[in-house]
Amino acid sequence: MPGVINMDELTDVDKAEMERDQKKIEVKLERWLTSKCCTEFMEAVQAGVEEDTLVKGIAEDKNPFKELKGGCVVC
Amino acid sequence: MGEMEELRKEADNLKDQITEARKVVQDTTLQEAVAGTTLVGRVQLKTRKTLRGHLAKIYAMHWGTDTNCSKLCVSASQDGKLIVWDTLTTNKVSAIPLKSSWVMTCAYAPSGNMVACGGLDNMCSIYNLKGKDGNVKVMRELAAHTGYLSCCRFLSDSEIITSSGDCTCVLWDIETGTEKTIFAGHLGDCMSLAVSPDFKMFISGACDFTAKLWDIREASCRQTFSGHESDINAIGFFPNGNAVITGSDDATCKLYDLRADQELITYQDSGIMCGVTSLAPSLSGRLLLAGYDDFNVNIWDMLKAERVGVLAGHDNRVSCIGVSSDGMACCTGSWDSFLKIWN
């Protein structure tokens, strides 16, 4: 198990070192063009929208959460 | 130059390089990219069920995901109870009394076998719902955080991730009750976490105004997202796992793309001036439902970043919100002690 880190015990220098080391990792990231990301984002949304009940709505008789008017529900 | 100054200068230099690298790949904005799409139609959801039973503020709720419990959810209230609800019938499947009533979070295991909760007791308590004699008992108490438990999410029946006011997140082995990995790096209380759809990563939002993406097995922070001007209270993955949504006390929600390593868009309105408490995307990700301090839930078109609906029905702050795994309904929990199911 990696050493217990109690944030209260870290000195300001420890924290600054952690921050610097973290940025060294992040600066190396390979980044995609936002145009590619936006296109994929839009496609992902459109792909699922027809099955999305909250967007499309649902017929009263098909709605599992409809008002239970008398009778029994057998689960 | 002192060591502190030296380190700060290095970090600032690296941050400038990161800012530059992000600009270099920003060849369009989401606003430009969606210019040709139509705004989704006005969304008007109705309250289908009201879950009554808690006697105090509700702080958290979580839907079951397994097909056996996709209509079940668990809620946590400062009345000192966890309640597992059958949302179709509004019946209480279990009402679990807690040792500590200062609960801030709850979670349903993907298997449906367990629930977990925690709060100002600094612990994450795991409860077995499928005990032999039908009684729900505490299975484990995960104690090591030195601050409040703000959020917890199961990876499986044997592992859970927690976020804490002590600025860290922890991966636990439930069997042994010990910490497997400590994720440190946030400089403020961690307020919320969400696990990626493939269970390989998780994201955390904190009071240092940043969101961090963590690799669970590598035990490292991959990316840090800034831009918010206040605490991040709520965080979630976009359904396909390629983007992160955050909600903040600065009254905005933001969408960050993991591959571009930057914000794609902000969901804000000059008329909204109160903090975001909770959020959940709809099944396709077309809608973002976000709960605010002003007792409402605003529904946003995630592509066009415009409000397309409001859920008004609670008499106090909406503290938690969740969309069921099949996308059929959304559940809101409030300080007014009620949960409502909408679709």
**Angstrom distances, CA of residue B269 to CA of B42, B50, B266, B317:** 17, 29, 10, 19
Percent of chain B's residues with pLDDT above 70? 100
* Overall average pLDDT of the B320-336 stretch: 96
Residues on chain A touching B25 (C-beta within 8 angstroms): 31-34
Q: Could you read off the pLDDT of B185-236 as tens digits, one per residue?
A: 999 999 999 999 999 999 999 999 999 999 999 999 999 999 999 999 999 9
A contact residues 19-48, partner B, Cβ 8 Å cutoff: 19-20, 22-27, 29, 31-42, 44-45, 47-48
- Binding-face residues of B in 250-309 toward A, CB within 8 A: 257, 259-262, 264, 282-287, 289, 302-303
- Answer for the pair B246, B202: CB distance below 8 angstroms, yes or no: no
Please give the Cα distance from B231 to B318 (Å, whole number). 17
pLDDT digits (tens, 9 = 90+) for B241-296: 999 999 999 999 999 999 999 999 999 999 999 999 999 999 999 999 999 999 99
> Which site among B1, B5, B7, B264 would you substitute to test the A interface, given the most A Cβ atoms closer than 10 Å to its Cβ?
B7
Contact assignment for A20 to B27 by CB distance below 8 Å: no
Q: How confident is the model at residue B49 (pLDDT cuts 50, 70, 90)?
A: very high
Residue B133 banded pLDDT, cuts 50, 70, 90: confident
Supply the pLDDT for residue B1: 66
pLDDT of B124 reads 98
Residue A70: predicted pLDDT: 61
List strands edge to edge, sheet with B149-154. B149-154, B159-164, B169-173, B178-183
**Residue B40 pLDDT greater than 90, yes or no:** yes
Q: Which amino acid is at B170?
A: V
- CA-based nearest residue to B180, from B161, B193, B152: B161
pLDDT for the residue numbered B70: 80
Q: Which two tokens stand for residue B89?
A: 């019938």
Give the pLDDT band (50/70/90) at residue B182: very high
Give the contacts of A70 (CB within 8 A, at least 6 positions apart).
Answer: none
Average of pLDDT values for B63-69?
Answer: 83
Residues B91-114: what's their mean pLDDT?
96
| Residue B95 clears pLDDT 60, i.e. is over it | yes
3-class DSSP assignment, residue B65:
coil
The answer to whether B15 contacts chain A (CB < 8 Å) is yes
Q: Please, what is the average pLDDT of chain B? A: 96
Asked if B210 contacts B226 with a C-beta cutoff of 8 angstroms, the reply is yes
Contacts of B342 (CB under 8 A, 6+ apart): B45, B46, B47, B48, B311, B313, B329, B330, B331, B332
- What is the sign, positive or negative, of the torsion defined by CA atoms of B126, B130, B136, B137? negative
* pLDDT the model gives residue B308: 97
- pLDDT (0 to 100) of residue A42: 96
pLDDT band at B50 (very low <50, low <70, confident <90, very high): very high
Q: Taking 80 as the threshold, does the pLDDT of residue A3 lie above it?
A: no
Percent of chain B with pLDDT over 90: 94
Residue B43 DSSP label: P
Inter-CA distances, B155 with A23, B143, B182, B226, Å: 28, 18, 15, 26
Scan residues 60-79 of B and list those with Cβ closer than 8 Å to A.
Answer: 71
Distance of CA B235 to the CA centre of its chain: 4
Is A17 at the interface with chain B, CB within 8 A? yes
Residue A2 pLDDT grade (very low, low, confident, very high; cuts 50, 70, 90)? very low
Given CB atoms, is A6 within the 8 Å cutoff of chain B? Answer: yes
Task: Provide the pLDDT for residue B69.
Answer: 73
Angle between helices B3-24 and A12-26 (to 10 degrees): 30
Which of left, alpha, beta for B261 (phi over 0: left; psi -120 to 50: alpha)? Answer: left
pLDDT at A6: 67
Is the pLDDT assigned to residue B135 strictly greater than 70?
Answer: yes
